[in-house]
Every structure is written in C-alpha cells, then in structure tokens.
Structure 1
Amino acid sequence: MFCAALVVVATFIVLTVGKDSACRLLPTDSSWPAQDVWNAFNQSVDGRLIQTVPLGRPCHDPNYDEAKCSAIRDNWHSMEFHEASSSSIMDPGFLNKSCDPFDPRETPCRVGAYVQYAVNVSSVDHVIKTVQFVKEHNIRFVVRNTGHDFLGRSTGAGAVAVWVHHLRDVEWIPEFKSPLHTGPAFKAHAGALSFDIALAADSKGLVVVTGGTPNVGFTGGFVQGGGQSATMSSYGLGADQTLEFEVVTTQGKFVRASHTENQDLYWALSGGGAGTYAVVWSVTVKAHQDLPVTTASLNFTLDENTQETFYQAIDAYQASTPSLADAKIWSTAQYSSAFFNLFPIFAVNKTSAEISALLQPLLDSLDRLGVKYTSSVQSYDKYLDGYNTLDNLINVPIGVITFGSRLLPQSVFAQGETLRRTQETIRGILEGGGLVADFIMKPTLDVAGNPQNAVLPAWRDVNKHVIVALPLTDGESSAQLSDQKKKITTEFMPALKKLTPGSGSYDNEGDPSEPDFKEAFYGANYDRLLEIKDKWDPDQILYGAVNVGGDRWHQTEEGRLCRNEEYVDLLHDTFTSRFRYQASNSEL
C-alpha cells in the first residue's frame, strides 16, 4: 500500500514539476528572483555579477548622446569593440533588434535578447555557484567569452552568463607526457584568445594551431567545434591538438577529461560542438616546431575584364583546387560577381620558388583568357611574422553579412562534368547576388596524426570550405534580415548540398537555420554525442539551437526558451519509470 502511494505521489511531483519548469524564466515572470536574491548571489560570487546595459543604449531616448552614439556606430563592425563586452555578440541576427544603434533614437532600447546578467568569473567556484543558481531558479544559462559567435550560443533572453573573457593565462609545458603526445604543449585557460596562444608559442620557438582571426576565443567554439586554421593542412584541425580538458560540469563538479580519464567527455569536447557538454575551464594542446612560411596573393576585378571572362577566371581558380590542396597549403579567397581576392595562400615550410611554381598553372590559364590580374609571393622566417601580415583576417568587419557554409570534398573538383557542375553552382550563387569566401585545405587524418575525436568526418576528405553570404545593411528591419537569411537557407545552401551529398558544414561558420543540422554539423557522430550530452548534462542546462540536443527546445517569439512537448513527455516517462522501479525495490 505504501509503495503504491509513493509511486502516485512521486509521479505527480515529477509531472507537475516537469510542466512548471518546461520553460526558462524571463524577467517579466512573477517568479523571477527578487532583487535581494540577486544581491545575495552577487555576494556569493565576490561581487562579480554584471547587469547588462546594451552597448547601443546612448543611441536611444531617453539616454541619447550624439557624440557617444556616433562613436558606437563608427566602431560597431569592429571585433575589438564587442570583444570586451560582457553581453554583446558579433552577429546582429540573434539580437532581435533589442538595442540596435542604427535604429531611430525614439526606438526603445531593450535588454531583450542579450543576457540579463553575466558573472565575470575568476575562479572555478564562481562557475559552480552560477550553475547552481540558474538551476535553482530555472534561468537560462550561457557560456561566453568574446561574443565571436555566429550560431547564437553566446546570448539568450533572460539568461545568466558565465563570462570567461579575463581567464587568459597561457602556461608552457616543456615536456607533456601522455599516450597521445610526448613533447611541448600549452595549457590555455577559458578566456585565452588565439593570438594569446600564438604569442606564447612564438616566444618558445613553437607554433600552436590557432584560429585564423586573432581574437577568436581559443577554448570555445574553435577547439570544441573543430577549428580551422592557417596551419591545419600541416598539423590538422584545432580539435586534433587537444590533450586534456579541465571542465566544470552542470552537476557542479570540477573534472579532467583526457585520453585516459573521462574519455567520453574528452572525445565529445574535441570537435563535438561548443557549449554543449560542460563548461571548459582550460584545454591543453600540442605545440609544434616553428617553421618558415610563404604567403601569396592573386587579385582581379570585373573593371578590366568582361563579365564572361571574369567568371571563366573564377572557373579556372576552381579547377586549380586539387593541386593547391594536395600541396598542403591553406588559403582563403573572397569573391563576388565583380571582384576576386585570393589572400593569403599560406604555406608552411615552403619557399617562394615552390609557391610560385604551384601558382603558375593557374596564372597561365588567366593569361590565356586575357585576364588582367596582380599577384605576389613573400616568404617569412617564422609563422607569426607571416600571420601578422594577414590584414584581411586580422581586421575583418563583423555584422555585415549573413551566411551559411558547406565542405566540398576533392571529388567535386574532378575534371569533366563533375567540375563543370561545381563551377556552375558557384557561378549561380554569384549571379544570385551572393558573396563567396572559400578556404582551400586538406586536414586529413594522416596529417592530424590519426586522432580519435568527434570532428565531423566530412573534414577528412575536404578540399574546400565554402561560405556563401549576403550583405546586411545597418538599420534594416527584422523582415529584411529574415529575407536575407531565408535566401541563404532555401536557395544557396540547397545548391551546395545537391553538389555534395553526404558531406557537411563547419558548424562555427554554418547556417544557424540549417534544417538538417544533425547530419550537416555532426554526421555519424550525432547519436553518440547525444548520449554523452545526456550523461554529463542530464538537466540540459547547456543549450544551442543547433547544438547536440538543441532540437529538444524552441524559442518563443519573446525569446523564452521552452522544452518541446515531445521531450517533456519523454522526461516524464523516464522519471516515472525510475520512481516506479525505486519504489518497487524499496525495503519498507
């Protein structure tokens, strides 16, 4: 009798709590914590709680300040401007016009889709206390560093963030020893930027695989999401370099994950998607001996060529992809229907003569077409000297495009009909008003040292990572932004998918509206990653719309994060079965 009563009561509690907590709270809810609760929480994290004031506030009444607003607008597309903010992000598409500095001054400035609070964490205990607080009060949780995020993971309406930006220590380990690697390594803490690691490595005559853009956070999306780099064709992806993680779990534990300890978590964190399994406190990665590098460039425009000749020149570039990739270079090209800029070709341990010879067949093709172009080749004694010249990567503007991406395998560049389809697909995107940025690389398993990790398998056969984009206009309406995003998702991306069945996308630079994100971003790894997610984050505290497990949730029009009904039903069934089992086995 008592067991039966226990089952009924327990089931009622689970069902009731499940329904009440199906959505995260917003500040407008009556159950939102009172100010004294926030004050107490602030004291518990040593006064490091920051209430969000959007950067665009001086551009709106009643706080309008013309001089400040002008400065904000002038710097809005600079990464550095947003990097130091505890709340801002570099993709306006996820802010829902909350406090847009380009909107009319009479438009209200709202916190809206920005995080409500951020904790400027300086200790593991700060992270643990923040996780405990959001769980106790059913508040959305976010992990953020620089806001260099194009999937919306670094923000969220009503959220509390752990802001790791000031945890920038980098430690040199002269002789790291593990089954995976014996030799030099670096331990980077959660806020370290790619350039922090590059400088530390350079001081020791070493190189670490870091992000192409210097202010990309190293331990977040870069390492956890795969991590493309100028050195990836020589050493592999960022995720291929990992040796050990220190993390805070959403159960409030500080643990290590490596090839020999918590191996499942280590596997998932190495390329299985950022902000999904645990809060990364640090990552230790391999270091490589510094080597000389050579860079090269190639530029031409429509101004001095006919439109057809211009497109034929781009066709010739596409045809050159396999030979460039096989040479283990990394390159990036940006082009439209009116300009083409290939810079850099970045080659590790290759001479100017070798790169000139590599480029010559492409230049010969352009000469035969009568294309007017400029090109150059330059060598440097070490990696950092070459990297510091890459102004188009170092000072890339943000918030000016919306985009998606696809990984193109070597097979689509095979001579004949296959290559022609590839050329026609790219031309169609350009003729449709699209912009293209593509990256030639070849991070094979052999190059990477045959790591065991959660990197999307499509990376191992890639020759080119292609980003397709449309321009954004300051102050455009939500409807206009939506139309641009829709064109990416429904026109440009399907064309690339048709060309590359079975391939995928780099999630850090993918389409945030990707309808088949499980296959595109995770491929055959998804089911195992979901099991690991449920083991290490059983309460589903960590969320991203296209993260592993992201389809269990949805955002309402007001930005509220809610569990999908079918997942709530699954939770009810799971917990009910668990209580019944425990009750039936109780000794009373």
Structure 2
Amino acid sequence: MQLLTSLTYLSSMRIFADATSSSNSDCKCQPSQRCWPDSHAWSRLNKTTDGAILKTVPPGIVCYPGPAYDKEACEKVSEESIYHTWITQSPFNVMQPGWNGNPCPPTNGTEANGTCNSLLGSPVYVINATNPSQVEAGVKFAKKYNIRLIVKNTGHEFLGRSSGAHSLSIWTHNMKNAEFTESFKPKKCSKAKPHSAVTIGAGMQWKELVLLAHPHGKLVVTGGNPTVGCIGGFMQGGGHSPIGGKYGMAVDQVLELNLVTPSGKYITANECENSEYFWALRGGGGGTFGVVTSATIKTYPTQPITVIGQTFNLTSNNIDIWWDWMAYVHSEIPRIADAGLMGYSFTFPDGTGKVNWAAALIMVNGTIEEAGDVLKPLYTKLNNSKYKDHIIYDHQGYTFPDYMTYFVSFFQPEVVGSTAVLPSRLLDARALTEDPTFFAATLKKMWSPFVGAYLGHIVGGPGVAQYKNVDMALNPAWRRTYNHFIAASGWDTPDLKDVVVNHARDVLEYNLRKLAPETGQYLNEALYGSEGWQAANWGANYPRLFSFKNEIDPDGVLYCFNCVGSEKWVEGANGSLCRASWA
C-alpha cells in the first residue's frame, strides 16, 4: 500500500490555498487545502480500519515516463483492463472512465506521450472494506473532515457515480458472504410473511450468487450481466432482470437491509424497523441514503428456461417499411409479455446500410412450442402483407434445464467500449400501441450515425406490475412498463463528448419523451445530465425522497451525480464540490 510514503507525499501537497476556498465549509475539502486531514489523521484511520486504506495509484501509470514505467507491466494491464472482470477487481478503476477524466489510461504497451500526475476524478484514498465497522469508520471520517465520500463495488456504472474527484471511496467489493435459509422473517417484524431467502454481502456479484444458489435448488432475480453487483446501485436503483416479467425487479425481492447511515450509524432496515430507510433504499438510488453492507433477498425454486432467438432483417432499401414493421413489432410487446415472454431486443446497423433486429426472449418453465406460439402472429403478419418482399426472419429455440445453466451460458463478461450515452424511456402499453405511425416516425427520426443501437429491455409486464401496491421509492411508472427502451450512443475521445451528449439530449431524449411523456426513465441507464431527471427518475416519489435525504444527510456526506438531493451541490471544473447558492 505504501501508505506512509503516500501520506508524506500528500502532506507536501498541502500548500496555502485560496483563503476563501480553504475556509469555506460550503465546499468539500480538497488535498491542496488546509482543511485536508494531515498524515496523522490518515494513519489513525488506517489503524482503525485494520490497515484497509489504499492510496489510489492508477494502474496505467506503468505506461508513462517516470520511475513507475514498466514495459511488461504496461502490456499486461493494457490487455487486461478492457474486461469488466478486471475492472470489478480494481479498487480504483470504473467501467466508464470518460466521466472521471480517464486518468492515466493504459496505452497498449507503447510509452505514452504525456504524463500521469493527476487523479482527475478518481478518489484519493480507498477503504477496502470487508466488514461494517470499516464502513462506519470511513463514513465518520468523511463527515468529520468534510471530504467527498463515494461508494464503489464493481464500477459497473454508466453515469460516473462510482468515482469522484478529491474523494474518499468505500470499496465494498470484498464483502462476499452468503447465507441461505428456507424461512426468513425480518427482525422485529411479526406481520411479515416468511420466505426462502439469501443474505448476501455488498460485494456479491450475480454470477457468484447464481452459482451459489444452484446447489440449493434456487434461483434469484438477477441482472443481465455476470459482473454486476447484486445489491449496490443496481438493486437500489430498481434492477431490471431477464426474468422480471415473472418475478418482478431486483428491488421487489428485498426483505431486509443492513447499512451505515450518513451519520455513521450501523442499522437494520425492513418494513417494521427503520422503515423510511427501507422505503428509500428500494428504488431511491445507490450512494445516497447510506452504504448498504448486506441485504436479504428472496429466492425461488429453480426453473427450466426456454430461449427463443428471433431475428428480422431488412433485405431491400425501403427504410420506411422497416420502421413501419418495427412499430408493429413493438405494438405486440404488451401481448407477448403478458403471454410469458420476456428478454432483450437489439436494433442495429449491419454495416451495409441495412438494419437488423435481434431478440433473445425467454419463457420461464415453458416449452419451445409454447414460446413459439406466442410469436406466430408476427410471422403470419409478415408472410401475408406488404412486408414479405422486404424483410426476412429467423427463429431458433433452446431449453436450459435450470436458471444457472441458462445464466452462465447466455451472459458472458463484457469488454469495455466507448463511454456510453444512454437516453432512455419507460414505454407502457399506450406508448407502444396507441399510434404506430407516430412510433415508426419517431424511430426513423432518431436513427443516425450518432446511434449505435436501439436497446429494448422487455423486462416489465405482469411480474413487475404485481408489486404495484407495495410502497417503495421505485418510480411508479415501472409498474405499467413493458419495454425499457434505450437509444444508445457514446464517445471515444473527449473532443466528441459535448457533441454526442448534446445530440442525445436535443434529439434522442427529446423524441423518446414525446413517445411516453408521462412515464419516466430508468435511473441507472439514463442520459448523463438528463433534463428534469428528478421527475423522470422517480416520478411522484421525488418530494418524499428529497425531504428524507435532507433529514438524514443535511451535510451531504453522500453525494453522487443526478442522485436525490444532488441539485443542492455544484461540481466545478477543478473537481470542487460546493453547495449551490440557493441551498
């Protein structure tokens, strides 16, 4: 860890800062200011946390001129750092480094032209937390010294919320415990009905939990990526699932939570104890109301999973007829979902000027024949209409014997690409069926070189709607949603950032909102800096969330971008974080 060397280095950086900045308690403290803890304070924190403090050293520093340069190490980190599996195991790195300035990127084994002497948006120190007491110590330290505090598990986060300039990070990735039970009841809650469940640590990832659940004959309501953390920002933001159409969202499975509050207190939250925390943490978003250290979630008997791979391909140059067909296909989604099919669709260019649609739709405990029957009306329509001379289709089916076999076969670790820009919308039955002509025109209008793909998440429907009367912070629009739709784009170099984000806001998000003006968006997969994000993310629940945030965290100990209460803070170009003038 080289902690003492790092502390000495930091102490040397503590130059006299601007008098206003150094004395302004309305801003989070920075390393260059007098308010920053001295080496003795950091050493005490390291001792309190049993040596868990890590000084951030960008892995890519081995690629840059200087004492850390190592050609062989550079080649290795350049090769490994593109994989999510590597990122999740790093205390410092995140999946979308474009949002934190991408300090010291690896350079494929060639010595970089430039220097690596700034952390930009990365944390200064990290607590490698393995137990709640270390989390408590970190929260109390950040509160005492007015330091920006962030939380990271896997770094699988699309809006940069797992990083922050001049911050202390709590890394929960190594909290991996899991305990299964056939009959769990929340503490001090006699009215709760028992349910088979598993209690998991904050660092558990979906593939790990799926493998652990299988010998117990259980499935869990997972995300669609093996490296995603189970109960961090994913679950706290809602957590859509490939089997959500039957079982609901990840947040619907939560029976109890253990967390450290912004004041540094370790508590248990369920429907009877600390119930307002329980309400807020189920859909209110991660990194906002506390640092969750463990959660108990429902388990279910494992089931066979049938997958239908279904494609449509445009063979002519008639792009209008393609979008007309896509509008019809989307109008069928409510019927398809109500019949028990769920999953993911992708609309993408094929490189020749044509457009393709591919979908992986699943049925829980159904046969290939039963799943195929649900899709037959689409093929009948195609074969007996104007579309048949322009569009071809294919249909393949396969049944996995259980959920584990399906999950590990179907979901593979991803490779890091460009920084994603994800304007999205929750599409209900009205948006999908009311006006196919308008729907087709909207899809055509948005399609451009700025768009990499349309991503359709058919993850709502009956399974999610069944929880509509449960009181939680999740955007109520989810309960009538059938398709979480994203017009995905991205940027590779900083000079393209503003162009891509502006187009996503002014064209993509604008038109998506016209499709469904009264629903909202999924807060974990949304446009960076989305306009009106409060109502879009939480609907009518936002005022209650905002009030609760002010009550439990008036000093803004926990802050993240476009999170509840974040409008009270302003991030500066130099990484400063200060209270808004009105707050």
Please give the TM-score of this superposition, normalised by the length of structure 2: 0.88
Q: Write the mapping of 1:239-258 to structure 2, written as runs, cut at 5 A.
A: 239-258=251-270
* Cα shift readout 1:202-238 (whole Å, capped 9, x = no counterpart): 2211111111111111111121101100111111111
Q: Write the mapping of 1:55-66 to structure 2, written as runs, cut at 5 A.
A: 55-62=59-66, 63-66=68-71
Return 5+ residue gaps in structure 1 as ranges: 1-15, 568-588
Q: Retained in 2: the 8 A contact 1:302–1:337?
A: no
Determine whether 1:72 maps to 2:80.
no
Cα separation, 1, equivalents of 2:417 and 2:281: 27
Cα separation, 1, equivalents of 2:408 and 2:40: 49
Aligned to 2:444: 427
Give 1 or 2: higher helix fraction: 1
Cα separation, 2, equivalents of 1:285 and 1:209: 9
Cα separation, 1, equivalents of 2:270 and 2:22: 35
Q: Retained in 2: the 8 A contact 1:174–1:185?
A: yes
* Cα shift readout 1:413-446 (whole Å, capped 9, x = no counterpart): 225xx12211221222223531211111334565
Question: Tell me, what secondary structure is at the counterpart of 1:518?
Answer: helix
Cα separation, 2, equivalents of 1:70 and 1:300: 41
Offset, 1:194: 1.6
Distance 1:144 1:520, change over 3 A: same
Offset, 1:364: 3.1
Of 173, 178, 183, the match for 2:195: 183
Of 94, 101, 111, the match for 1:89: 94
Please give the TM-score of this superposition, normalised by the length of structure 1: 0.88
Of 396, 404, 426, the match for 1:384: 404
* Cα shift readout 1:241-288 (whole Å, capped 9, x = no counterpart): 111111111222111111111111101111111111111111111111
Of 160, 169, 172, the match for 1:161: 169
User: Which stretch of structure 1 is more off in the superposition, 345-354 or 313-322?
Assistant: 313-322
Aligned to 1:518: 534
Of 556, 559, 579, the match for 1:543: 559
Of 42, 49, 71, the match for 2:53: 49
Question: Tell me, what secondary structure is at the counterpart of 2:466?
Answer: helix
Aligned to 1:329: 341
Cα separation, 1, equivalents of 2:62 and 2:423: 32
Offset, 1:531: 1.9
Q: Retained in 2: the 8 A contact 1:233–1:442?
A: yes
Q: Retained in 2: the 8 A contact 1:237–1:448?
A: no
Letter in 2 for 1:406: R
Aligned to 2:458: 440
Cα separation, 1, equivalents of 2:280 and 2:260: 15
Cα separation, 1, equivalents of 2:107 and 2:469: 49
Question: Tell me, what secondary structure is at the counterpart of 2:378?
Answer: helix
Q: Retained in 1: the 8 A contact 2:284–2:538?
A: yes
Determine whether 1:225 maps to 2:237.
yes
* Identity %, equivalent residues: 30
Cα separation, 1, equivalents of 2:442 and 2:77: 39
Aligned to 1:112: 120
Aligned to 1:146: 154
Offset, 1:300: 4.4
Distance 1:350 1:305, change over 3 A: farther
Letter in 2 for 1:134: A
Distance 1:356 1:515, change over 3 A: same
Q: Retained in 2: the 8 A contact 1:293–1:380?
A: yes
Aligned to 2:25: 21
Aligned to 1:490: 506
Distance 1:507 1:43, change over 3 A: same
Cα separation, 1, equivalents of 2:476 and 2:24: 40
Distance 1:55 1:481, change over 3 A: farther
Q: Write the mapping of 1:219-368 to structure 2, written as runs, cut at 5 A.
A: 219-301=231-313, 307-308=319-320, 310-338=322-350, 339-367=355-383, 368=387
Cα separation, 2, equivalents of 1:407 and 1:247: 30
Question: Tell me, what secondary structure is at the counterpart of 1:294?
Answer: strand
Aligned to 2:36: 32
Cα separation, 2, equivalents of 1:58 and 1:17: 34
Distance 1:55 1:17, change over 3 A: closer
Cα separation, 1, equivalents of 2:82 and 2:527: 20
Offset, 1:305: 6.6
Cα separation, 2, equivalents of 1:302 and 1:224: 39
Letter in 2 for 1:441: V
Distance 1:91 1:17, change over 3 A: closer
Distance 1:75 1:315, change over 3 A: farther
Cα separation, 2, equivalents of 1:50 and 1:369: 61
Q: Retained in 1: the 8 A contact 2:323–2:444?
A: yes
Q: Retained in 1: the 8 A contact 2:53–2:127?
A: yes
Distance 1:449 1:234, change over 3 A: farther
Cα separation, 1, equivalents of 2:130 and 2:432: 49
The CA RMSD over aligned residues, in Å, is 2.3
